[in-house]
Amino acid sequence: MEKLAIDGGYPVRSGKIYYGRQWIDEDDIQAVTEVLRSSFITCGPKVDEMERTLEEYTGASYAVAVSNGTAALHCACIAAGIGPGDEVITTPLTFAASANCVLYCGAVPVFADINPETYNIDPDSIRVHITEKTKAVIAVDFTGQAVQHKEIRAICEEFHLIFIEDAAHAIATKYDGKQVGSLADLTTFSFHPVKTITGGEGGAVLTNSEEFYQKLTLARTHGITHEESMMVNPDREGPWCYEQITLGYNYRITDFQAALIVSQMKKLDNFAARRKEIAKRYDEAFSEIPELMLQKGIPESDTCRHLYIIRLRLDKLKCSRREFFDAMGEENVQCQIHYIPVYWFPYYRRLGYEKGLCPNAEEVYRGIMSIPIYPAMSDQDVTDVIHAVRKVVENYRK
Ligand SMILES: *Cc1c(COP(=O)(O)O)cnc(C)c1O
């Protein structure tokens, strides 16, 4: 057996590899610098182009570009009319933003449990948590795997709920052959550097509803409209006229970020293909290791993997997750944990949420670890990660 680096042995590789990173080419840099040399650096033609590109790619009728994925979620909640007195059902196994956006609107996030095999929100648990006050569901395509659209859609129709999909992980994923972005009532993307394509920062909301689209554009820009048809007093004093007709925010994205996102969109299918290749190699290598459990796929989801998660069977290992994580780090494979259940955070605890609320999510959380997956990984990098996982498992096997 190979001696672990953490015990004084040689690491599987010399340079550190991280769980995710962006891919920026010369043409991406050129796209950004072109905008910087032009007359519009914000709210110009590149934002329009980004929106049209996203509409074309996803098949959604409308895309609204915003400053980041969190702003996208906030705008989606505003468009859905979420406010004080409402409850919104979401998952605890996500980044805090998926629930914070509900609090921004003065409403109450309610956590439904996950399916312990797919790690996505469990439609049966959504059902259990519906009350008179439930207004919407925010379902997260965790790791990039699409949520159970058919089941969630049926629930939303039965109880007149709005279906919001946090697809920060899932651009390029298809459900039943249709692109994520075209399916839910409102879908949000993030273009943070760890996500599948990036603008440095950036986000978007997609919808097929013209009514939601109008509300999204108002939420993005202070509640201000320049369109006569939307004005309360359209008898314009002059061409400078605009009206603030609701309360909105400044969630604009710059033209140079939009240019970067448009440029990255051209590579998206290649990125997705590479991510799938890497995930397949991991699946093949790890399915033979009895100390690991892998995320179960649903047949409807053609998944572009944003994260690859191994789940440790701690009953079969002599180490804790922390020891496994540290040992991987010493092998120069820097893992990450996605995510601490949202309601465990002190802020949520102060709001009255208690540990034990979602037993499946808590149990899954205790064993999971995200290993590196991003398109710039070489085949050797993938081999190194597999080697490190095998090596650590062998050393800690009971
Ligand atoms: C990244 C992420 C967000 C927030 O996106 P930002 O662009 O960082 O604001 C929201 N939800 C999920 C699931 C995410 O992974």
The per-residue pLDDT for range 48-58, each reduced to its tens digit, is 999 999 999 99
Which atom number of ligand 1 is nearest to the Cα of residue 191? 7
What span, in angstroms and rounded, lies between the C-alpha atoms of 72 and 68? 6
What digits encode the pLDDT tens for the residues 133-151? 999 999 999 999 999 999 9
The alpha helices in 131-201, defined as continuous H runs, are 149-159
Confidence label for 43 from pLDDT (cuts 50, 70 and 90): confident
User: How many other CB atoms are found less than 10 A from the CB of residue 105?
Assistant: 18
CA of 14 to the centre of ligand 1 (A): 31
Which residues in 163-176 are b (16+ Cβ under 10 Å) and which e? bbbbbbbbbbbbbe
Spacing, Cα 76 to ligand 1 middle (Å): 13
Q: What is the mean pLDDT of the chain?
A: 97
Phi, psi torsion values for 318, nearest 5 degrees: -85, -5
- DSSP code per residue over 288-341: T-TTEEEPPPPTTEE---S-EEEEE-GGGBSS-HHHHHHHHHHTTB--B-----
Residue 318: closest CA among 388, 391, 397: 397
Which residues does a 6 A CB cutoff place in the pocket of ligand 1?
A: 68-70, 94-95, 97-98, 140, 166, 168-169, 190, 192, 203
- The mean pLDDT of 305-323, rounded to a whole number, is 98
Q: At how many degrees (to 10) do helices 255-265 and 45-58 cross? A: 30
Write the residue with the smallest CA distance to atom 7 of ligand 1: 69
Quick one: pLDDT band at residue 163, thresholds 50, 70, 90? very high
Checking if the pLDDT of 236 tops 80, the result is no
pLDDT of residue 101: 98
> Residue 240's pLDDT is what?
84
Q: What is the pLDDT of residues 60-97, one digit of tens each?
A: 999 999 999 999 999 999 999 999 999 999 999 999 99
- For the stretch 166-178, pLDDT in tens is 999 999 999 999 9
The residue to mutate among 192, 257, 261, 305, having the most atoms of ligand 1 within 8 angstroms of its beta carbon, is 192
Query: pLDDT band at 28, cuts 50/70/90?
Result: very high
- Quick one: DSSP state of residue 176? T
pLDDT at 185: 98
Gap from CA of 70 to ligand 1 centroid (Å): 6
* pLDDT over 80 (residue 383): yes
330, pLDDT greater than 80: yes
State the pLDDT at residue 183.
98
pLDDT digits (tens, 9 = 90+) for 256-282: 999 999 999 999 999 999 999 999 999
Check residue 241 and give its pLDDT: 87
User: Is 234's pLDDT higher than 90?
Assistant: no
Mean pLDDT for the stretch of residues 233-246: 87
pLDDT band (50, 70, 90) for residue 336: very high
Atom of ligand 1 nearest to the CA of 72: 9
CA of 196 to the centre of ligand 1 (A): 12
- Please check whether residue 196 is in contact with residue 168, taking contact to mean a CB–CB distance below 8 angstroms: no
Tell me what pLDDT residue 96 has: 98
For residue 334, give both structure tokens: 């820097």
Ligand 1, atom 6: closest residue by C-alpha? 69
Instruction: Report pLDDT for 136.
Output: 98
What is the per-residue pLDDT for 361?
98
Average pLDDT over residues 30-53: 95
Rounded to an integer, the average pLDDT of 146-159 is 98
Contact 265, 53 (CB under 8 A): yes
Average pLDDT over residues 207-218: 98
Strand order in the sheet with 308-312: 292-294, 308-312, 368-371
The two tokens of residue 308 are: 């690859």
Q: What is the pLDDT of residue 397?
A: 97
d(CA 369, CA 335): 7
- By most ligand atoms within 8 Å of CB, the mutation choice from 22, 98, 100 for ligand 1 is 98
| pLDDT over threshold 80, residue 317 | yes
The Å distance, Cα 295 to ligand 1 centre, comes to 21
CA of 190 to the centre of ligand 1 (A): 6
Residue 237's pLDDT is 80
Q: For residue 69, report the distance from its CA to the centre of ligand 1, in Å.
A: 5
Question: Which amino acid is residue 385, in one-letter code?
Answer: V
Polymer length in residues for the chain:
398
Contact 205, 77 (CB under 8 A): no
- 0.95 surpassed by pTM: yes
The dihedrals phi and psi of 249, each to the nearest 5 degrees, come to: -130, 175
- Confidence check: pLDDT of 368 > 90: yes
In ligand 1, which atom is closest to the CA atom of 202? 7
